[in-house]
Amino acid sequence: MVKTIAFSVVVILGLSACNSHQPPNRPSQTASAPAGGNVASGGFSNRELQQFTALDPIDTHTHAYRSDPAFFAMLTRLNLHILDIELVDDRSPELKNLAAETKAAWQVVRNSDGRAALCTTFDPFKFREPGFTRTAIAGLNQQFAQGAIAVKIWKNIGMEIKDAKGNYIQADNPLFEPIYRDIAKHNKTLIAHLADPNSSWAPPNPASPDYSYYKEHPEWYMYGKAHPASKQQILRARDHLVQENPKLRVVGAHLGSLEADIPQLASDLDRFPNFAVDVAARVPYLMLQPRAAMLAFITKYQDRLIYATDNDFLPKSNTASTVKDWEETYARDRRCFATGDSLIYNGQKVQGLALPPEILHKLYHDNAVRWFPGILGGSQNGKVSP
Ligand SMILES: [Zn+2]
């Protein structure tokens, strides 16, 4: 985690992003002086912590591959459950070996005292090898047998991996279909992080929340590339897989990559009852768009939005700063959703959404339980068929 952000003076609505592998959205953080006395910053106050823990919060989008007592103590202190998500990133020395990652992630889950559940994955880079589909399914089933509750597909499908003809493979490729059917058959959930924010396809803009991410990760910056992946095509393929697998619960990570087109996201949610989205690393997009429209959207789709951060804890992460970063993210996000406080983002004054308690509980807890059966372990889980 390369979180080099200085949290000074005021609250900064940062997008937490595990920028070792994940998108985006690291805002260009510009702290400005508090506009009044009503601006909180940093980690939780005692009272805030009480309010947070009372939500029975669940974060359905984290990447934790390191077992450390201080990390587990934080989960307990925050009364937090997490979904620990695997992915294969061939460009990251820490994330390119699925077997090693799986071992580390299971260690986290097993040491977490029931606070972490596993979202496994398959290696899409083996796409062109004979028997790919069969091998992938066998691997997933082995993980399901051990208790994995979900499967992630990542943006390397659509934006990186190519077929024999040199075209980007898409999520609705026929070779993936039996995998999706297998996931549905086991009543597990598919997390689809496909595509990236629009800013990947837009000219460089220092004011964009994602500017520094793409500076650090030009490999995911499509603008100016000779043969860029097409966001439209990627999302069309995503929609197709959601439509073709009505019994499969699909959770679109990062607001389904429709952070800048909430009307389109609403329309997708209307079309596909088996589709929900997490808000990981996209809270600022909800805060920076007109408040009334965001409130209307969240209210209407209160059963389909799932709290998540994209926080990470990688093998080489520093534990103390990780714990601090995670806590500050949770404190900041809670202020956005639960309070009507003034907050400063990129020098812009915004107001917390002050969601009513019943919607907050759905966002932070109930929806995670419904869309990810097994996330709490044991008997506490609800079950939802989409
Ligand atoms: Zn992630």
Domains of the chain: 46-380 (3.20.20.140)
User: At a CB cut-off of 8 Å and minimum separation 6, what does 76 contact?
Assistant: 113, 115
pLDDT at 42: 86
d(CA 337, CA 283): 9
User: Given a cut of 60, is residue 360 above it in pLDDT?
Assistant: yes
Q: How far is the CA of 307 from the centre of ligand 1 (A)?
A: 13
Q: How far is the CA of 356 from the centre of ligand 1 (A)?
A: 28
Enter the tokens of residue 335: 């202020």
Q: How far is the CA of 258 from the centre of ligand 1 (A)?
A: 16
Average of per-residue pLDDT values in the chain: 88
pLDDT at 346: 67
Q: How far is the CA of 291 from the centre of ligand 1 (A)?
A: 26
d(CA 3, CA 10): 17
Q: How far is the CA of 349 from the centre of ligand 1 (A)?
A: 28
Q: How far is the CA of 80 from the centre of ligand 1 (A)?
A: 18
Q: How far is the CA of 254 from the centre of ligand 1 (A)?
A: 8
Distances, alpha carbon 181 to alpha carbons 124, 137, 220, in Å: 17, 10, 29
Quick one: DSSP state of residue 213? H
Pick the more confident residue, 20 or 361: 361
Beta bridge partners, 192, equal: 153, 252
pLDDT at 40: 61
User: Given a cut of 70, is residue 105 above it in pLDDT?
Assistant: yes
Q: What is the pTM of this model?
A: 0.89
- Secondary structure of 35-65 as H, E, C letters: CCCCCCCCCCCHHHHHHHHCCCCEEEEEEEC
Neighbours of ion ligand 1 (CB under 5 A): 22, 310
Q: How far is the CA of 84 from the centre of ligand 1 (A)?
A: 9
- State the pLDDT confidence band at 6, using cuts at 50, 70 and 90: very low
- In this structure, of 35-39, 107-111, 146-150, the range with the lowest mean pLDDT score is 35-39
Q: Which helix (H) or strand (E) holds 277?
A: strand 275-278
The dihedral sign for the CA sequence 231, 234, 240, 246: negative
User: Given a cut of 60, is residue 36 above it in pLDDT?
Assistant: no
d(CA 253, CA 19): 15
d(CA 188, CA 377): 13
Distances, alpha carbon 258 to alpha carbons 278, 304, 345, in Å: 11, 14, 20
Q: How far is the CA of 120 from the centre of ligand 1 (A)?
A: 12
